[in-house]
Amino acid sequence: MKKKLVKSFRRDSYNGKKKESEVVLESANFKIHKMSNRPRPAPENTILIATFSEFGCESLGIMYCIPALIQEYPSKYKIIVGWYGREFLYRHLCDEYWEITEDYMHLREYANAFHHSSKNLRSIELSLKEYGTVFPSEYLGKITIGIKCNNCGLFMNSVYGNGNTWKEENGGKNTCPSCNSSDMTLPMLQDVKGWKKRSLPLPSPSEEKINYVKKYLKKPSVGIFARGRKQYGRNLQPEFYINLIKMLEDMGYNPIWLGEKVSVQPCPVDHVLDWSRMKESRDLESTLAIIKNCDFTIQFWTASTRLSGMIGVPYILFESPDQIWGKKGQEGIRRNLCDLGPRKLAANHFLDVYRNNEEGLSIVKQCIEELNAGNYEDIIGLVGNKKAMWQYKKDNDERIGSDI
Ligand SMILES: [Zn+2]
């Protein structure tokens, strides 16, 4: 299917950031994956859900937001429109998955949480209207952060710019300003425990795939995701990864290089398989099958933990304390919602690890040893004042749902 795009907007982005370098593409191509036997009905009986978000949020969409939407529109014909290679993630959720072609994957750099600042993606979302009712990518964000009136469907901000909660803004009343109903669904970010009960786990990759990919692996295997983002930085040096590979090999492991080529660095050594650059890695079910065969995965400042977490494979993550425990950083909450298996978090400031690779690696080693011993407690690594950081964690663990 080929879709001519409408002319781009003058507005730069949703979040005010200028993304002037984006080239407006003439047309977008989709591959349509048919998931059910239902014939496609008229537009009034069809809903289209766009999922052009960052993977850290996309995973919330898969496990929570889309299942919630499906519950709301049980009889509608469902079309999900999203990134290349993600069909497996949506197979169980829709009648059709429209996969954008691979040459559009650079637009991932314009995704920011559930929002995106891409003119091209916005044009695509607008052009979907002729096929049915469209829920753009940002709508899934509303489900995550907005309070919803279950009677009239109104979404309300959950926290205002002045720090007030919705209740405070509403004169202390717990009712909908539009219809006065008090039947409300709290947002995920305010009710982690309540939402976690409603999670819809991702199906496991097929046995056939799990067996097929074994030819690429030597046990015990460890998957490495080496963040390599153009737009947002926080990429560790290739030398760090060379030393990480050496350390893992000295510990008896066989690393495999994972991820999507647009967002991970190329593998810095020849003797480790760079799955991220192989054609077969474009099929996410195969990547998940590889992960299923790994003892654990390792990643630094990236949400690729979701792949392991959603299928219950242990992982190690280095992340900034603010992202995990801070009021604005939501990664802690998102992890707690999506992780279904053991995990090990080491809180570190990026620049401290960037400057002190050796100490960073010794923390990785500690993570591996403790993970193997069944100790899943968080580690406070290179963060400055450790005592203050333990307190920071203690003050926020319950709010972000670390105890579930
Ligand atoms: Zn209402």
Predicted local confidence at residue 271, as pLDDT: 98
Does the residue 310 lie in any domain? yes
Q: Tell me the CA–centroid distance for residue 180 and ligand 1, in Å.
A: 6
What is the chain's Cα-based Rg? 22
- Do 281 and 378 lie in one domain? The reply is yes
What's the CATH number where 249 sits? Answer: 3.40.50.2000
Q: Tokens 């429209």 belong to which residue?
A: 98
Q: Tell me the CA–centroid distance for residue 262 and ligand 1, in Å.
A: 42
Q: Is the pLDDT of residue 9 over 50?
A: no
Q: Is the pLDDT of residue 21 over 70?
A: no
Domain end position, chosen among 88, 110, 143: 143
- The per-residue pLDDT for range 37-46, each reduced to its tens digit, is 999 999 999 9
Q: Which helix (H) or strand (E) holds 319?
A: strand 315-319
Query: Ion ligand 1 — residues with CB under 5 Å?
Result: 149, 151-152, 154, 176, 178-179, 181
The encoded tokens of residue 335 equal 């992890």
Enclosing domain of residue 355: 207-400
Q: Tell me the CA–centroid distance for residue 175 and ligand 1, in Å.
A: 8
Does the residue 200 lie in any domain? no
Domain end position, chosen among 102, 127, 143: 143
- Do 85 and 215 lie in one domain? The reply is no
Averaged pLDDT, 154-180:
72
- Do 280 and 139 lie in one domain? The reply is no
Query: Residue 171 region, left (φ>0) first, then alpha (ψ -120 to 50), else beta?
Result: left
Q: Is the pLDDT of residue 212 over 90?
A: yes
Does the residue 336 lie in any domain? yes
Please give the Cα distance from 194 to 125 (Å, whole number). 31
Domain end position, chosen among 143, 161, 196: 143
Averaged pLDDT, 369-394:
96
- Do 127 and 221 lie in one domain? The reply is no
Backbone angles phi, psi at 293, to 5 degrees: -90, -5
Q: Is the pLDDT of residue 15 over 80?
A: no
- Do 219 and 355 lie in one domain? The reply is yes
Mean residue pLDDT of the chain comes to: 89
Does the residue 182 lie in any domain? no
- Do 213 and 121 lie in one domain? The reply is no
Averaged pLDDT, 128-146:
91
- Do 22 and 102 lie in one domain? The reply is yes
- Do 137 and 215 lie in one domain? The reply is no
Query: Residue 359 region, left (φ>0) first, then alpha (ψ -120 to 50), else beta?
Result: alpha
| Helix extents (H) in 1-54 | none
Predicted local confidence at residue 13, as pLDDT: 36
Q: Is the pLDDT of residue 161 over 70?
A: no
Please give the Cα distance from 180 to 213 (Å, whole number). 56
Q: Tell me the CA–centroid distance for residue 256 and ligand 1, in Å.
A: 51
Predicted local confidence at residue 19, as pLDDT: 45
Please give the Cα distance from 28 to 127 (Å, whole number). 10
Split into its structural domains, the chain has a count of 2
- Do 120 and 242 lie in one domain? The reply is no
Predicted local confidence at residue 10, as pLDDT: 35
Q: Is the pLDDT of residue 163 over 70?
A: no
Q: State whether residue 112 is helix, strand or coil.
A: strand
**What pTM did the predictor assign?**
0.85
Does the residue 237 lie in any domain? yes
Predicted local confidence at residue 7, as pLDDT: 40
- Do 215 and 125 lie in one domain? The reply is no
- Do 331 and 219 lie in one domain? The reply is yes
Q: Tell me the CA–centroid distance for residue 300 and ligand 1, in Å.
A: 42
- Do 248 and 371 lie in one domain? The reply is yes
Does the residue 285 lie in any domain? yes
Does the residue 392 lie in any domain? yes
DSSP letter assigned to residue 106: G
Q: Tell me the CA–centroid distance for residue 67 and ligand 1, in Å.
A: 21
Does the residue 173 lie in any domain? no
Q: How far is CA 344 from CA 250, 295, 305, 363, in A?
A: 21, 13, 10, 11
